[in-house]
Amino acid sequence: MGLRQTIEALLGVSAYQPRPVDGSPTLDSPEVEQLRIAMGGQLAPPSISQTRWYLSDIETAQHEADQGMLDRAAQLMRAARGDGVLAGVLSTRTGGLVRLPKRFRGDPEIVAALELGHEDESGEVRSIFDEMLPPQELALLAEDGELLGVGVGELVPVPGRDYPVFVRLEPQFLHYRWMENRWYYRSVGGLLPITPGDGRWVLHTPGGRVSPWQHGLWRAVGRAYVRKEHACLHKENWESKLANPARVAVAPQSAAEEHKQSFYRQIMAWGVNSVFGMTPGYDVKLLESNGRGWESFNQTIEQCNNEYVICIAGQSVTTDGGAGFQNSDIHKSIRADLIKATADGLAYTVNTQMLPAFIVSRWGEERLTSAAVMWWDVTPSKDRAQEANSLQIVGQAISQLRDALAAYGRELDIDTLCSRFGVPIAGDRDGDGAPEVAPTVRAIRPVEPTPTDKAEAA
């Protein structure tokens, strides 16, 4: 089995998916490399931003996405990231996640290389995993996966070392051709076919293999963003026109024109701590709006903020910037199953499309069968404390039960108790509370020699 077949088996690529067309430009094509060098290494063309959004734009984005064009949906999500509330809650789910403890399992040599890395000039040991897959790039890829249902990136070769660096690419230039069942990327070198797991392309699809954009949060988040933006603009318009009271100057009808104009100029120059001395017939008062329309704007803004939180966190949480921005507090802000879903989806992409490139470049294709895998430990810290307390209580209960049963000539079933309360036992692989027993080797009984054998031996 070749490298391509090994990677396809690892990814679970369907036999019905067509292979890339021979002769089509790729990341390694000379013309693409020359264009990238001329642009300083850039692969994507300059991004296009839209500064004013309307609800009709979301409908247009939906129709375009159904045709495989994610331009408008990605532009909408890039604009929505500028909202402070959304940015804060989203960074808790993605940025906080990728900075949780990482766990590795598999080949000890590969695990040691990923965990420890190498020592730099300052004597500090740097992790190859973090150098190859920067946390910020992984967080951006996870954000694209949650919002759009799909994200894309590139493993860029680095001269002087045998492992690349991951760079997240703008999903605005993703294009899916339904009749070919293939993703393309509109780059500076033209339309490039994406081959996930080929050592260069990374395609993150937590929204599913079929129409992943249908399962992203971009429609709900986009609708809340547009409504909030309009409410903020209308609120500012109201404040600029009606929040400040109008000054009303009343002069007596019999006053001379020059006296009226002098009085009006004094009112127009009304400053801080102004004092007016007026004769009978003159009056000064404030005219304020008695309307309460501003309350509807605040309610709309609050509803949109709450919709952000429900979409991203799965529950209503405090978004004051305190909880959720530390590893120990992430579980207080984001529903546990959503953290687990994001972590599992991102780890699957890392294990199937990113780590194999590093393993093949350093150890060769044959080491893929015994490769290492990683995952993020999303277990809340409070659960660990409860688990330790539970084990302590179980230990005390075992001692007391064993002494109590001994008085009646009975023995405690330790295996059943350990299995029920999840007590770790050395050598217990199936979780039944008892160490695995090596298979019994039956002794071979020697065969008695026959009289013929005895005679031949003599």
Domain ranges of the chain: 3-222+305-376, 246-287, 382-421
Give the integer Cα–Cα distance in Å for 102 and 128: 13
Q: Tell me the pTM.
A: 0.72
Does the pLDDT at position 324 exceed 50?
no
How confident is the model at residue 444, as a pLDDT? 37
Average pLDDT of every residue of the chain: 81
Q: Which residue has the higher pLDDT, 454 or 295?
A: 295
Q: Check whether 321 has a pLDDT greater than 50.
A: no
Q: Which residues contact 88 (CB under 8 A, 6 or more apart)?
A: 319, 321, 324, 325
Provide the angle, in degrees to the nearest 10, between the axes of the packed helices 381-406 and 414-421.
Answer: 160
Strand-pair category, 283-287 with 246-250: antiparallel
Single-letter amino acid code for the residue at 112: A
Q: What is the C-alpha to C-alpha distance for residues 424 and 435, in angstroms, rounded to an integer?
A: 10
Chain centroid, CA 119 distance in Å: 30
Q: How many CA atoms lie within 13 A of 219 on its CB side?
A: 15
Give the rounded percent of residues in the chain with a pLDDT score beyond 70: 78
Token pair for residue 207?
């929204």
Residue 406 phi/psi, 5° resolution?
A: -65, -30
pLDDT of residue 39: 83
The string of DSSP codes covering 261-307 is: HHHHHHHHT--TT------TT-EEEEE-----HHHHHHHHHHHHHHH
Band of pLDDT at residue 138, cut at 50, 70 and 90:
very high
pLDDT tens digits, 176-186: 998 888 999 99
Query: Could you give the CA distance from residue 76 to residue 52 in angstroms, rounded to a whole number?
Result: 10
- What does each C-alpha distance from 170 to 11, 67, 203, 260, 314 come to in angstroms? 23, 19, 12, 65, 26
CA atoms within 13 A on the CB side of 333: 25
344-392 pLDDT, tens per residue?
A: 999 999 999 999 888 888 888 888 877 889 999 887 765 566 777 888 8
Q: Which long-range contacts (C-beta less than 8 Å, at least 24 apart) are formed by 40-45?
A: 41/156, 42/188, 43/154, 43/169, 43/185, 43/187, 43/188, 43/189, 44/169, 44/170, 44/172, 44/173, 44/185, 44/186, 44/187, 44/188, 45/173, 45/186, 45/187, 45/188
- What percentage of the chain exceeds 90 in pLDDT? 28
What's residue 434's pLDDT? 61
Q: What is the pLDDT of residues 34-54, one digit of tens each?
A: 888 888 888 888 888 898 999
The H-or-E segment that residue 240 falls in is none
pLDDT band for position 73 (cuts 50, 70, 90): very high
Tens of pLDDT along 206-226? 998 889 999 999 999 999 999
- Can you tell me the distance from the alpha carbon of 167 to that of 200, in angstroms, rounded to the nearest whole number? 10
∠ CA 362-365-370, rounded to 5°: 90
